[in-house]
Amino acid sequence: MSDQHSLENRDSPGDDDVLEFLEGDESGSPGEAAHPWRVLIVDDDSDVHKATELAMQGLEVEGRPLQFLHASSASQARELMEREHDLAVVLLDVVMESEDAGLQLVRCIRQELDQHAVRIVLRTGQPGYAPEIETVRAFDINDYKTKSELTRTRLYTVLTAAIRSYRQIQALESARHGLEMIVEASTELSRLRGLLHFAEGVLNQLCHVLGVLPAGLVCAQMNDDTGSGWRVLAATGQYNNLRDTALTAVPVEEVRQRLQRCINQRETQVEDTGLSLYLGLSNGRAMVAMVDLGRELDRVETHLLRAFSANIVVGLENVLLYGQLLDQAYNDQLLHLPNRTRFIELMERNLQDPQGICLALIDIDDFSDINDAFGHHFGDQVLQAVVGRMSAMLGFNTSMARVAADAFGLLGPESTVNGGSIGRVFTEPFEVEGERLQLSATTGLVRLSESSSVGSELLLDAQIALKRAKQQHRGSSQYFSSAMGTDARERFKLLKGLRAGFEDNRLFVVYQPQVELANASPIGAEALLRWRTEDGKFVPPDQFIPLAEQSGLIISIGEFVLRTACHQLKRLEDQGYADFRMCVNVSLAQFRHAGFIDTLNGALRDSGVNPANLELEITESMAMEDADLVMSLLAAIKRAGATVAIDDFGTGFSSLSQLRQLEVDRLKIDRAFVREAQVSSAGSTIAQMVINLGRGLGLRVIAEGIETEEQRQQLLALGCQEGQGYLFARPVPSDQLERWLRKEPI
């Protein structure tokens, strides 16, 4: 059924005045003038199509002309709208091929075609088929008019209102889409960590947001100099050849001036030729992105650019922060050298072709003494002087890194990286702040072609060689060998097993009785540590005790031995052995540990033993190392009530005057002098000297390692009072010690 009302000759005498007012109120963007508003007329009456076009002929809305498209049925309109997606308004007849064809098309446009921006004006000549209130309430339409209402002016008014609504919806949609692109751009840029990659990403995403072809460049401030410090980091399109060019060297004057204006004014510049986006950072540095536009920006795009800039600045700050963190993670900030982590990467690269390449680990001898004497600031300058000379003498074809506080890694051809070349670096004194310093350095060397190690293992090999060199003398060098590596790895394996053994209670204490030499009556016992591995084998103490001392594990192990011995001593006291002496060895690491005296007092208190029955044994070398510290500690031990013996006496170089100052109670003759006393008069003389010295100082003397009756008799003849050894008893567990004391078989 067709609507029969025509739009011709509907104008009233006052319409032209209203029309003139409406036209004078239009305001459109200059950039939109060439793009007409597209209006679809859907009506099965051809006269309606002609009358509508005639009525609107020559009129503009919002500064843009109108362009009409035509469909004579709802189905034809649907087909057209499936192809066309930039329609502003649909003037839609309600009754066409069916009574509700227009209303069904509204549903199709909104739900099936998913076109929500286009404005729909329903026109009908038969209002009864679709009551106005119910229709407006039920359908997403802009207006609903009878054809008799639509005079020329009123039709223009309806179209203007619909187009303005469409324009606002388009602006909102454009803003929403723009914000989505900004979020997407920010997400993409957040994945780009390096400054160069980030600059390229900024350029690509900016062009994407503005909907222009990628043609532009990005400049960044590389230092505080706003002139030569600006450099092109990324470029695309016609500017591609300007990549990595200083701003002052950009050959296109117009481009150079555009960028310089943006930099000088520190704000975004929008010009006829394009856009220069200023991205200022909190630290005063900045980045500028320039793209060609070929058009003016509308208001929505201007707002989007602000949001884009804010997001990019945050991303740029993060990239620079990441760069700083990366620099600190891989480079030494004082000496501007690669650090240990970066050096390992360099070594792994060189392992791809290791022939003729040598690794050196260079340790400056006694550098801590320089820091202690002159301060860390002076020490830093010393390191800088060393690096400067090494770079000058060894820098050709070599990679240098700081791998520890006063140790450097060097990687390069063996003709340069060798002990002789490195030694010559330290031949002449170094001058630092007017001081002339003669330094030396010890070096561990690894030929990469002769090593099966990779990465950090190579540095471990060099460290092993360095330690071997230090055992020779300071200032020497030593090449790594597989034998060194095997020995070091065995020691590491042993230490790992020792830690596990201690944690799993596979370390235990045995006791070797001590007797009066004259009648072999018991007077005490020495607590000795033993380690039985998981497979039941025993590891000799001379193998694992040094490892425990070097690793610091001896502190915990030593406390375990002390407490175990004290509790056993208390058990013996409770059994009636009131004057029984328990001797416990103390290592140098224990002795110098800040908590040693507290540990001693805690063991005495917790066990409840008579402190006078506990004797601590220290070596002669420990006693002579630091006189003030030793005397202070010995005095504290005396205050705790324990006694002190000097073990292995005669193996060191203590003087009589030093010995007189020490508050000790007993001297212990080393087993070596006991054995030599049988065959050597020199040995007998040393044993005699120790015994005489003890007697002169009022100290008791005990000999260890007595294995034969002959040794016992000789020591008695020399005046030795006490002894221990296999002749009397081997080291035994606590229960066997108790049976031995009861004179039961063990």
Say which CATH superfamily domain 500-741 falls into: EAL domain (3.20.20.450)
Which tokens go with 12? 């009233």
What pLDDT is recorded for position 655? 55
Using pLDDT thresholds of 50, 70 and 90, give the confidence band for residue 740. very high
> Between 554-574 and 541-551, two packed helices, what is the crossing angle to 10 degrees?
120
Which tokens go with 332? 């030494």
What pLDDT is recorded for position 31? 43
390 close to 408: Cβ distance less than 8 angstroms: yes
Residue 537: is its pLDDT beyond 70? yes
Using pLDDT thresholds of 50, 70 and 90, give the confidence band for residue 619. confident
Say which CATH superfamily domain 191-330 falls into: GAF domain (3.30.450.40)
Q: How far apart are CA 461 and CA 416, in angstroms?
A: 20
Can you list the positions of beta strands (E) in 566-649? 581-585, 614-619, 643-649
Identity at 378, one-letter amino acid code: F
Query: What are the backbone angles phi and psi of residue 400, rounded to the nearest 5°?
Result: -120, 145
Q: How far apart are CA 360 and CA 423, in angstroms?
A: 12
Q: Which fold has domain 15-175?
A: Rossmann fold (3.40.50)
Region 267-293: mean pLDDT is: 82
Question: CA angle 486-487-490, nearest 5°?
Answer: 85
Question: What is the share, in percent, of the chain residues with pLDDT greater than 70?
Answer: 86
Query: What are the backbone angles phi and psi of residue 693, rounded to the nearest 5°?
Result: -65, -45
- 283-287, 474-478, 548-552, 644-648: which is most confident: 474-478
DSSP label of 240: G
423 close to 457: Cβ distance less than 8 angstroms: no
What pLDDT is recorded for position 370? 92
What pLDDT is recorded for position 665? 92
Residue 136: is its pLDDT beyond 70? no
User: Pick from 538, 569, 504, 506: which is nearest to 741 by CA?
Assistant: 569
Q: How far apart are CA 261 and CA 546, in angstroms?
A: 72
Using pLDDT thresholds of 50, 70 and 90, give the confidence band for residue 269. confident
The pTM score is 0.51
- Helix or strand or coil: residue 569? helix
**Dihedral angle at the C-alpha atoms of 408, 412, 418, 419, nearest 10 degrees?**
0
Asked if the domains 15-175 and 191-330 are classified in one and the same CATH topology, the answer is no
Which tokens go with 666? 């007993």
Q: What is Dmax (Cα atoms) for the chain?
A: 151
403 close to 477: Cβ distance less than 8 angstroms: no
pLDDT digits (tens, 9 = 90+) for 455-487: 788 898 999 999 999 988 889 999 998 888 777
Using pLDDT thresholds of 50, 70 and 90, give the confidence band for residue 6. very low
pLDDT digits (tens, 9 = 90+) for 16-44: 433 333 333 334 444 444 589 999 999 98
What pLDDT is recorded for position 127? 58
Q: How far apart are CA 89 and CA 325, in angstroms?
A: 56
Residue 654: is its pLDDT beyond 60? no
pLDDT digits (tens, 9 = 90+) for 320-358: 776 677 777 888 889 989 999 899 888 888 777 888 999
Q: How far apart are CA 244 and CA 234, in angstroms?
A: 7
Region 410-425: mean pLDDT is: 94
User: Pick from 655, 687, 689, 658: which is nearest to 670 by CA?
Assistant: 687
Q: List Cβ neighbours of 642 (8 Å cut-off, separation of 6 or more).
A: 600, 604, 611, 612, 614, 615, 616
What pLDDT is recorded for position 318? 72
Which tokens go with 684? 């007998």
C-alpha distances in Å from residue 275, one per residue of 221, 302, 305, 454, 559: 19, 11, 10, 52, 75
Residue 651: is its pLDDT beyond 90? no
Q: How far apart are CA 250 and CA 375, in angstroms?
A: 49
Using pLDDT thresholds of 50, 70 and 90, give the confidence band for residue 680. low
User: Pick from 716, 337, 696, 326: which is nearest to 517 by CA?
Assistant: 716
Q: How far apart are CA 300 and CA 495, in angstroms?
A: 70
Using pLDDT thresholds of 50, 70 and 90, give the confidence band for residue 176. low
pLDDT digits (tens, 9 = 90+) for 32-90: 445 899 999 999 889 889 988 888 888 888 888 999 999 999 999 999 999 887 899 99
Q: How far apart are CA 746 and CA 732, in angstroms?
A: 9
Sheet with 119-124, edge to edge strand ranges: 60-61, 64-71, 37-42, 89-93, 119-124, 143-146
Q: Which residue has the higher pLDDT, 461 or 680?
A: 461
| Total length of the chain | 746
For the ranges 172-181, 386-395, 627-636, 736-745, which has the lowest average pLDDT?
172-181
What pLDDT is recorded for position 128? 54
Q: How far apart are CA 421 and CA 445, in angstroms?
A: 12
Which tokens go with 330? 């891989």
Q: Which residue has the higher pLDDT, 649 or 569?
A: 569
Using pLDDT thresholds of 50, 70 and 90, give the confidence band for residue 138. low
What pLDDT is recorded for position 11? 40
DSSP label of 708: S
- Helix or strand or coil: residue 68? strand
What pLDDT is recorded for position 32? 46
Using pLDDT thresholds of 50, 70 and 90, give the confidence band for residue 311. confident
Architecture of domain 335-480: 2-Layer Sandwich (3.30)
Question: CA angle 75-77-78, nearest 5°?
Answer: 65
* Average confidence score pLDDT of the chain: 83
Which tokens go with 118? 């286009």
3-state secondary structure string, 182-202? HHHHHHHHHCCCCHHHHHHHH
* Domain boundary assignment for the chain: 15-175, 191-330, 335-480, 500-741
- 24-28, 44-48, 240-244, 528-532: which is most confident: 528-532
- Helix or strand or coil: residue 246? strand
What pLDDT is recorded for position 10? 38
